[in-house]
Structure 1
Amino acid sequence: MQQLAIFGGTFDPIHWGHLLIGETALHQVPVEQIIWVPSLNPPHKQAALFEHRVAMLQQATQDRPGFTVSLIETNRSGTSYAINTLIDLSAAYPKTHWYWIVGLDAFQTLPHWYRGHELAQMCDWLIAPRLLGGETIAQSELICKQVEQELINQSVSIRWQLLHIPLVGVSSSLIRQLIRVRQSIRYLVPEAVRLYIAAHNLYSK
């Protein structure tokens, strides 16, 4: 049985922090591929056009054989829900043990996701600690254990582990903010992504 990891998100835009999370997962867990899944219609936020986010993602990951960009969301109608993504990918990749890469903030809300109790048990969870708020690894682990206990109280089991990631204080929202005020984003995103953003005048308004 092959082992694959899903890394879903808006990637608006993708940055070095995302890539570091993906690279860490490849080395920490015995997965053969990280499947990057840009969300077509994110449930809680507005984002740049899907085709722009896909193009940036493809440029940022093209030189890493362990990374694959999936366009499985392209034909999705309505809101992009994680469980639908996993069901569709399971059909495309049968006989697979799945991992799901998620940030700590999103993992905290997992019990309240659409069909979250089902999804929690369908894969192993790889959690990227929250680094921008200054939390320690111990604090991140405590938050994960609280989520696990909340699910156990509702008769839902879950398997999870924290990813051991070097500290990188960068976020997509920071990058968008810097662009709006005409500050440099060099070294926050891959150079191909920086050039793409400039060429298409993204995030400047």
Structure 2
Amino acid sequence: MQQLAIFGGTFDPIHWGHLLIAETALHQVPLKKVIWVPSLNPPHKEAALFEHRVEMLQRATEDNPAFTVSLVEVNRSGVSFAINTLIDLSAFYQNTHWYWILGLDAFQTLPRWYRGHELAQMCDWLIAPRLLGGETIAQSELICKQVEQQLKEQSFTIHWQFLNIPLLGVSSSLIRKLCCQRQSIRYLVPESVRAYIANNNLYSNKSE
């Protein structure tokens, strides 16, 4: 049985922190492939056009054969929900043990996701520690155990582990803010992504 991971998100834009997380997951598990899934219609935020975010993802990941960008959400109408993504990909990648890569902040909200309790049992969870919050590993583990306990109280089980990554103080919101302020984002994103942002004048009118 092959081991694959889904890395979903808005990727608005993708940056070196995302790539480091995916590379770490690839070797820590180990995984055969990381499937990047950009959200078509993120449920809680506005984002750059889907086409822009996909192009930046493809540019950033094209040199790694273990990375693939999925457009599974293109044909879906309405809000993007994680459980639908996993169901759709499971139909395409059969005989698979699934993992889901996400940050600590997102994992903390898992019990409130659409069908989140059901989704919790459908894959294993690979958690990237919070990059900017200053929490210790012990504090982060406590947060994860609280999520585990919330699910257990409703008779759901979950398997999770932390990704052993160095902490980088970079985020998509920081990059958007710097672009808005016309400051340099070189070395925060791959050069091909930086050039695309500049050529398409992305984020120049956004405040975050």
Q: Could you state the TM-score of these two structures normalised by the residue count of structure 1?
A: 0.99
**Cα deviation, residue 81, structure 1:** 0.1
Q: Equivalent residue for 1:13?
A: 13
Q: Residues of 2 paired with 1:108 and 1:84: CA distance?
A: 20
Q: Which runs of 5+ in 2 are unaligned?
A: none
CA RMSD of aligned residues (A): 0.5
The answer as to 2:126 corresponding to 1:123 is no
After superposition, the C-alpha distances for 1:128-158 in whole angstroms (9 at most, x for unaligned) are 1102011111111111011001110111100
Q: Equivalent residue for 1:102?
A: 102
After superposition, the C-alpha distances for 1:143-196 in whole angstroms (9 at most, x for unaligned) are 101100111011110000010111101000000000001110000000000000
Q: Residues of 1 paired with 2:21 and 2:195: CA distance?
A: 22
Q: Equivalent residue for 1:54?
A: 54
SS of aligned partner of 2:204 = coil
Q: Equivalent residue for 1:37?
A: 37
Q: Equivalent residue for 1:163?
A: 163
Q: Quick one: which amino acid aligns to residue 70 of structure 2?
A: S
SS of aligned partner of 2:126 = strand
4+ residue runs over 2 A deviation: none
Q: Residues of 2 paired with 1:162 and 1:176: CA distance?
A: 27
**Cα deviation, residue 94, structure 1:** 0.8
Q: Could you state the TM-score of these two structures normalised by the residue count of structure 2?
A: 0.98
SS of aligned partner of 1:8 = strand
Q: Residues of 1 paired with 2:3 and 2:192: CA distance?
A: 30
Q: Percent identity?
A: 81
SS of aligned partner of 2:100 = strand
Count residues in correspondence: 205
SS of aligned partner of 1:179 = helix
Q: Residues of 2 paired with 1:141 and 1:173: CA distance?
A: 25
Q: Residues of 1 paired with 2:199 and 2:136: CA distance?
A: 38
Q: Quick one: which amino acid aligns to residue 72 of structure 1?
A: V
The answer as to 2:74 corresponding to 1:74 is yes
Q: Quick one: which amino acid aligns to residue 117 of structure 2?
A: H
Q: Residues of 2 paired with 1:180 and 1:148: CA distance?
A: 39
Q: Equivalent residue for 1:91?
A: 91
After superposition, the C-alpha distances for 1:100-123 in whole angstroms (9 at most, x for unaligned) are 001100100000100001100000
Q: Quick one: which amino acid aligns to residue 79 of structure 1?
A: V
Q: Quick one: which amino acid aligns to residue 194 of structure 1?
A: R
After superposition, the C-alpha distances for 1:64-89 in whole angstroms (9 at most, x for unaligned) are 11101001011110000000000000
